[in-house]
């Protein structure tokens, strides 16, 4: 269950710090109060306590808070999907003792023995008692029965759903789903679990005794307004064998896909009776949800940003929203501005191979990484209107992989930071008659830079298994965003993982997103929340549009509220890729490559106007007579009539 964050005291109002940059120090301080505290007790244990406990969780007098041991070398448990309960008519008295919980990385889908919900995540999904094997979420530890082993009368069944809270597992079993290449290529064995009013599907190997891994293949939310379940009929035109039809059913949910805004997942049961059970359970749960008027928590509605027949979209690598009527597209051919309401297109400059677009509104500039040599080039925003202008090239950025921009000195100066392998160049940008720049810093990062962002006049740099914050206004050593003496964070060094992004939650708290997990830390680099953010599948990208984090994987985009830590939505788009850092513009490589806009339902007004889209293949980019850089996207004259014979 999600838990509110634990907000620490403001460290900047105390004497605790990792370094002293006020005097321009370039070495570690001799006395560090934080490190001294940890050095006094390096075997510190990680305690998780909850203010609420269930009445059944105590077998006697009030006990001490349950201890959860967090160490770098965690035991790996591989529990079975269903635990058989053994009953005996003879009861032997056992010595009452407390659980000894270890934070554990499970290797197969595992349900919490306390709430029966799945413990989703790639690593460290929950806790397990090393004495009796009782497993649960870290948030369920204080609610768990205290006796070890748990008395049989206090054990919950494998299937137990709290309908009011919407928590727990209602049904599970093995089914068959279409292979990645489609149903024409055959069926893939899968484990299906109905949990928290969602249908989870886990791929399995075809070997008899194989177990699924923890990566979720698909998630379908029953709160989806378009959710339905029904048998499959020949009129559904699903390419399956006729003899399989009696065992098939389909689950339908919403997704952007022409010509419909819904999609269906065909599922094959082992028998016709199994199919009837699945359809009955899912239908009953959906009716239960509708009667309870469960709130749809989804944030994004998917829109097609422009006609998919525009040739530029097929090779688009990056994009940016200029204003509510214009978008910039970067591809192999160059940089183009599309006016979505009047179907006009402007080519900007003669650049080729655009890899990244960075709008710098404070400095009225645009920066792009372009060409085979990956150089940064700058030009004024007026060039986006089609005006002829000079391009300012940063020569020493050759071979760069990413960049980020922001302001320093309370917005007085515009800053651009460019990463090239393990180096970062920091520039101050100036705009008068011509663009000019001044390099004021060159930073050496421990290893290759994987992501960057500017927070409160500091540059945050992410690399494998670490993040550093570098002061931009003054000299000084970087702040470690993962304190080396916090034992609850030591697992990151022992399990090297790529850095995806960092998010500034507040002036005293950050979310650090790695390939396997999300960690909340304070400004000293110490853990700020005991609970970690869990991914359902291996992420490929992370994008942030406050307060929502979009985590992209092969089969879907999962949306999290970073403040409450709630997983609020799953967008079931396969192999979708973000084109900008906010994740608002995306490319969907389906049969027809589409430009998708994630519209936030919670905001007033539209960030982007949505034109009427069509798949009219007769529309073309027609060059203007008086300009080589302007195009209209329309049906050429003489080709707009109906085909002959109609």
pLDDT in tens, 86-123: 333 333 344 558 899 999 999 999 999 999 999 999 99
Domain finish residue from 291, 322, 341: 291
Whether 175 and 141 map to the same domain: the answer is no
What is the pLDDT, as a whole number, of residue 636? 81
From CA 521, how far away is CA 547, in angstroms rounded? 17
From CA 116, how far away is CA 134, in angstroms rounded? 12
What is the pLDDT, as a whole number, of residue 37? 36
Is 188 a member of any domain?
Answer: yes
What is the pLDDT, as a whole number, of residue 260? 57
Q: Provide the token pair at 130.
A: 């090393």
Is 597 a member of any domain?
Answer: no
What does the pLDDT look like over 473-490, one tens digit per residue? Answer: 888 899 999 999 999 999
The CATH number given to whatever domain includes residue 208 is 2.30.29.30
What is the pLDDT, as a whole number, of residue 378? 96
Domain finish residue from 444, 475, 510: 444
Whether 189 and 269 map to the same domain: the answer is yes
Is 32 a member of any domain?
Answer: no
Is it the case that residue 297 has pLDDT exceeding 90? no
User: What is the pLDDT of the chain when averaged over all its residues?
Assistant: 83
Bridge-based pairing of strands 135-136 and 566-571 is: unpaired
Whether 106 and 174 map to the same domain: the answer is no
More confident of the two residues 240 and 362: 362
- Smallest CA-to-CA distance from 52 within 119, 115, 116, 121 is with 115
Give the H or E element holding residue 280. Answer: helix 272-291
Whether 186 and 138 map to the same domain: the answer is no
Mean pLDDT along residues 440-449: 96
- What are the C-alpha distances in Å from 252 to residues 173, 231, 268, 356? 19, 11, 14, 36
Question: No. of H helices and E strands in the chain?
Answer: 4, 43
Whether 248 and 211 map to the same domain: the answer is yes
Q: Provide the token pair at 445.
A: 């990062």
Whether 185 and 267 map to the same domain: the answer is yes
For residue 380, what are the domain limits? 349-444
What does the pLDDT look like over 495-550, one tens digit per residue? Answer: 899 999 999 999 999 999 999 999 999 999 999 999 999 999 999 999 999 999 99
Is 68 a member of any domain?
Answer: no
What is the pLDDT, as a whole number, of residue 184? 81
| Long-range own/partner contacts, residues 436-441 (CB < 8 A, 24 or more apart) | 436/392, 437/378, 437/392, 437/394, 439/396, 441/470, 441/472
What is the pLDDT, as a whole number, of residue 616? 64
Whether 281 and 178 map to the same domain: the answer is yes
What is the pLDDT, as a whole number, of residue 18? 28
Residues paired with residue 45 on neighbouring β-strands, in sequence order: none
Phi/psi for 3 (5° steps) reads -130, 140
- Residue 595 pLDDT class (50, 70, 90 cuts): very high
More confident of the two residues 445 and 574: 445
Whether 118 and 176 map to the same domain: the answer is no
Give the H or E element holding residue 311. Answer: helix 311-314
| Structural domains in the chain (count) | 3
Whether 190 and 275 map to the same domain: the answer is yes
Whether 101 and 178 map to the same domain: the answer is no
Q: Cβ neighbours of residue 59 under 8 Å, at least 6 residues apart?
A: 96, 145, 146, 147, 151, 154
More confident of the two residues 537 and 235: 537
- Residue 70 pLDDT class (50, 70, 90 cuts): low
What is the pLDDT, as a whole number, of residue 66? 60
Is 120 a member of any domain?
Answer: yes
- Residue 71 pLDDT class (50, 70, 90 cuts): very low
Is 427 a member of any domain?
Answer: yes
Is 378 a member of any domain?
Answer: yes
Q: Strand, helix or coil at 11? A: helix
What does the pLDDT look like over 309-351, one tens digit per residue? Answer: 899 999 999 999 999 999 999 999 999 999 999 999 999 999 9
| Global pTM value | 0.84
From CA 541, how far away is CA 552, in angstroms rounded? 5
- What are the C-alpha distances in Å from 625 to residues 389, 589, 629? 21, 34, 10
From CA 446, how far away is CA 422, in angstroms rounded? 7
Whether 436 and 386 map to the same domain: the answer is yes
More confident of the two residues 14 and 71: 71
Least confident interval from 81-95, 124-138, 195-209: 81-95
Least confident interval from 234-243, 381-390, 399-408: 234-243
Is it the case that residue 35 has pLDDT exceeding 90? no
What is the pLDDT, as a whole number, of residue 619? 85
Q: Half-sphere exposure (CA, 13 Å, Cβ side) for 559?
A: 22
Whether 173 and 272 map to the same domain: the answer is yes
Domain finish residue from 444, 467, 485: 444
Sign of CA dihedral 9, 15, 16, 22: positive
- Smallest CA-to-CA distance from 48 within 509, 532, 521 is with 532
Is 417 a member of any domain?
Answer: yes
């Amino acid at each position: 269950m999600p838990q509110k964050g634990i907000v620490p005291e403001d460290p900047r109002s105390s004497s605790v710090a990792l370094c002293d940059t006020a005097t321009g120090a370039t070495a570690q301080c001799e006395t560090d109060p934080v490190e001294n505290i940890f050095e006094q007790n390096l075997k510190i244990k990680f305690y998780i306590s909850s203010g609420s406990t269930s009445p059944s969780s105590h077998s006697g007098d009030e006990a001490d808070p349950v201890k959860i041991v967090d160490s770098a070398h965690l035991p790996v448990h591989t529990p079975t999907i269903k635990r058989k309960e053994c009953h005996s008519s003879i009861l032997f008295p056992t010595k009452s003792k407390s659980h000894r919980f270890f934070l554990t990385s499970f290797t197969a889908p595992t349900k919490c023995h306390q709430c029966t919900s799945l413990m989703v995540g790639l690593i460290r999904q929950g806790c397990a008692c090393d004495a009796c094997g009782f497993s649960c979420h870290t948030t369920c530890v204080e609610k768990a029965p205290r006796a070890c082993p748990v008395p049989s009368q206090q054990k919950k069944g494998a299937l137990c759903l709290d309908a009011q809270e919407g928590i727990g597992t209602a049904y599970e079993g093995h089914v068959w789903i279409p292979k990645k290449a489609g149903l024409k290529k055959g069926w893939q064995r899968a484990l299906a679990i109905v949990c928290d009013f969602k249908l989870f599907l886990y791929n399995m190997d075809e070997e008899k005794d194989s177990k699924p891994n923890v990566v979720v293949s698909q998630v379908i939310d029953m709160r989806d307004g378009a959710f339905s379940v029904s048998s499959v009929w020949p009129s559904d035109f699903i390419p399956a064998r006729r003899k399989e039809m009696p065992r098939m059913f389909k689950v339908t949910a919403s997704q952007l896909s022409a010509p419909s805004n819904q999609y269906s997942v065909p599922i094959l049961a082992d028998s016709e009776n199994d199919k009837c059970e699945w359809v009955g359970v899912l239908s009953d749960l959906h009716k239960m949800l509708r009667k309870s008027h469960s709130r749809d928590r989804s944030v994004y509605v998917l829109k097609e940003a422009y006609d998919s027949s525009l040739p530029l979209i097929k090779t688009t690598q990056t994009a940016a929203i200029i204003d509510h009527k214009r978008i910039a597209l970067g591809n192999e051919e160059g940089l183009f501005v599309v006016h979505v309401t009047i179907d006009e297109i402007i080519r900007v400059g003669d650049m080729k191979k655009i890899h990244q677009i960075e709008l710098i509104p404070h400095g009225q500039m645009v920066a792009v990484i372009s060409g085979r040599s990956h150089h940064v080039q700058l030009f004024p925003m007026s060039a986006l209107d089609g005006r002829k202008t000079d391009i300012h090239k940063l020569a020493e950025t050759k071979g760069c992989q990413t960049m980020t921009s922001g302001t320093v000195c309370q917005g007085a100066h515009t800053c651009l930071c460019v990463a090239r392998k393990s180096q970062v160049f920091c520039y101050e940008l100036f705009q008068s008659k011509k663009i000019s720049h001044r390099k004021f810093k060159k930073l050496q990062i421990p290893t290759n830079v994987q992501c960057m962002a500017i927070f409160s006049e500091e540059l945050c740099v992410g690399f494998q298994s670490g993040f550093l914050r570098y002061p931009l206004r003054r000299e000084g050593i970087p702040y470690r965003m993962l304190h080396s003496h916090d034992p609850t964070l030591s697992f990151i060094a022992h399990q090297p993982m790529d850095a995806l992004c960092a998010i500034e939650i507040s002036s005293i708290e950050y979310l650090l997103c790695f390939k396997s997990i999300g960690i909340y830390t304070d400004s000293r680099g110490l853990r700020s929340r005991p609970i970690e953010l869990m991914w359902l599948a291996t992420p490929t990208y992370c994008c942030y549009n406050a307060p929502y984090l979009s985590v992209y994987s092969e089969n879907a985009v999962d949306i999290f509220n970073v403040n409450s830590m709630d997983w609020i939505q799953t967008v079931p788009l396969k192999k979708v890729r973000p084109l900008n850092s906010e994740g608002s513009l995306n490319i969907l490589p389906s049969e027809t490559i589409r430009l998708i806009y994630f519209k936030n339902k919670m905001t007033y007004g539209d960030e982007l106007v949505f034109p009427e889209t069509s798949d009219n293949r007769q529309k073309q980019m027609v060059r203007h007579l008086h300009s080589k850089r302007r195009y209209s996207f329309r049906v050429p004259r003489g080709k707009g009539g109906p085909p002959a014979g109609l």
